[in-house]
Amino acid sequence: MNNDCPPYPILLAEDDLISRRLCQKILAREGFAVTTVANGREALELFRQRFFPIVLTDWQMPEMEGPELCRAIRDENPNRYVFIVMLTSKGSKGDIISGLEAGADDYITKPAHPAELVARIRTGIRILELERSLKAAVDEIHLMSILDSLTGLYNRGYINERLPQEIRRAHRYVRDLSLVLCDIDHFKKVNDTYGHLVGDVVLKSFARCLAGSIRQEVDWAGRYGGEEFLIVLPETHLHGALVLTERIRRTLESTPIETDNKAIGITSSFGVVCFSPGTCKEAITPEALLQEADNLLYRAKSEGRNRIEA
Ligand code: GH3
Ligand code: MG
Ligand code: MG
Ligand code: MG
Ligand code: MG
């Protein structure tokens, strides 16, 4: 955490005007954005509209007291940490214990000592920063577990997980779902002629071409095997899938892939299938749909490659 503070807005709930002004002033001087309310109920209502990572709350307030506010915030935000500091005038052990038990992280006795208040808030920021970096690490690990490391497309594991969901959704909402299975033609020759590393460059470039050809957010593509890729097109009928596939086929055919010192022309063969729940009542299995695509791909290969079969 740097010292010139903070993207951490603070919610301050305090019914006593003088104490409220004092705390607000101390924190504002440190650069914090402070929103003030006069009781726990108002605090909770505001919190429900807008998340605050830091809450500074008085113990005794009309309508809703500090401990009750703490408990509600904790219960309603199980997946996001809120750093809660309780203000207490009594400073009695019993108060402090019940505040901490209600979910407060820390407490401060009134009147708030400026340096102490700021120091305690900074303690909270250390926790919030830690939470943030842990979440980023978890996100990254998750991403690594579903993406293919060479091409950045989804990996086989993710395809196996997501495809059944797509089929179920297509079936439930009676929407067409199309799949395109692609296999680079004579890819072994690329490796044999230029080496495996150049082969990798070609695979990456091929994957980029696929990813760049589909609708963001809706369509998705994965690496099904070595030089085999799957494109999944929800809400897309066979004709739409064929138009897209033909565009990809032509782009590949007419755009040699640039590698370090040479441009390599490649083509691909395609098997295109469509699950159309409007015309068949049973949901098809992912295996059967993929098998169908694979059979068509095989036919595209045997009929001369650089072709689409549907
Ligand atoms: P076809 O037109 O019938 O598909 O011929 P092909 O040569 O593309 O097919 P084949 O299945 O004979 O060869 C696929 C090659 O893809 C063999 C394998 O070494 C290569 N390959 C698979 N994964 C990778 C990879 O990650 N990097 C590289 N460079 N090559 C790979
Ligand atoms: Mg009070
Ligand atoms: Mg093969
Ligand atoms: Mg191939
Ligand atoms: Mg292959």
Which position has the higher pLDDT, 163 or 4?
A: 163
Residue 111, preceding bond cis, omega within 30 degrees? yes
Count CA atoms within 13 Å of residue 179 on its CB side. Answer: 31
Q: How far is the CA of 143 from the centre of ligand 3 (A)?
A: 29
**Ligand 1 pocket mutation pick from 156, 182, 188, 196 by most atoms within 8 angstroms of CB:** 188
Residues around ion ligand 4, judged by CB within 5 A, are 183-184, 187, 227
Nearest ligand 1 atom, CA 196: 29
For the cut 90, the answer to whether the pLDDT of residue 227 exceeds it is: yes
Q: How far is the CA of 34 from the centre of ligand 2 (A)?
A: 18
Per 3-state DSSP, what percentage of the chain is helix, strand, and coil (rounded to 5)? 50, 20, 30
Atom 2 of ligand 1, residue of closest alpha carbon: 185
- Rounded Cα distance between 68 and 121, Å, is 21
Instruction: Report pLDDT digits (tens) over 21-59.
Output: 999 999 999 999 999 999 999 999 999 999 999 999 999
| Beta-sheet pairing, 308-309 with 268-275 | parallel
Instruction: Evaluate whether 248 touches 262 at the Cβ level (below 8 Å).
Output: no
Instruction: Report pLDDT digits (tens) over 65-117.
Output: 999 999 999 999 999 999 999 998 766 788 888 888 999 999 998 888 999 99
Hey, what are 289's tokens? 């749909």
Query: Annotated catalytic, 131?
Result: no
Q: How far is the CA of 288 from the centre of ligand 3 (A)?
A: 20
Q: How many CB atoms lie within 10 A of CB 247?
A: 11
Atom 26 of ligand 1, residue of closest alpha carbon: 226
For the cut 80, the answer to whether the pLDDT of residue 4 exceeds it is: no
Instruction: Evaluate whether 158 touches 222 at the Cβ level (below 8 Å).
Output: yes
CA dihedral (300, 211, 142, 217) positive or negative = negative
Residues with CB under 6 A from ligand 1: 150, 183-188, 191, 196, 199-200, 203, 226-227, 301, 305
Per-residue model confidence (pLDDT) at position 6: 54
- Rounded Cα distance between 244 and 238, Å, is 10
CA dihedral (289, 269, 208, 178) positive or negative = negative
For the cut 80, the answer to whether the pLDDT of residue 281 exceeds it is: no
For the cut 60, the answer to whether the pLDDT of residue 5 exceeds it is: no
For the cut 70, the answer to whether the pLDDT of residue 163 exceeds it is: yes
Q: How far is the CA of 33 from the centre of ligand 1 (A)?
A: 58
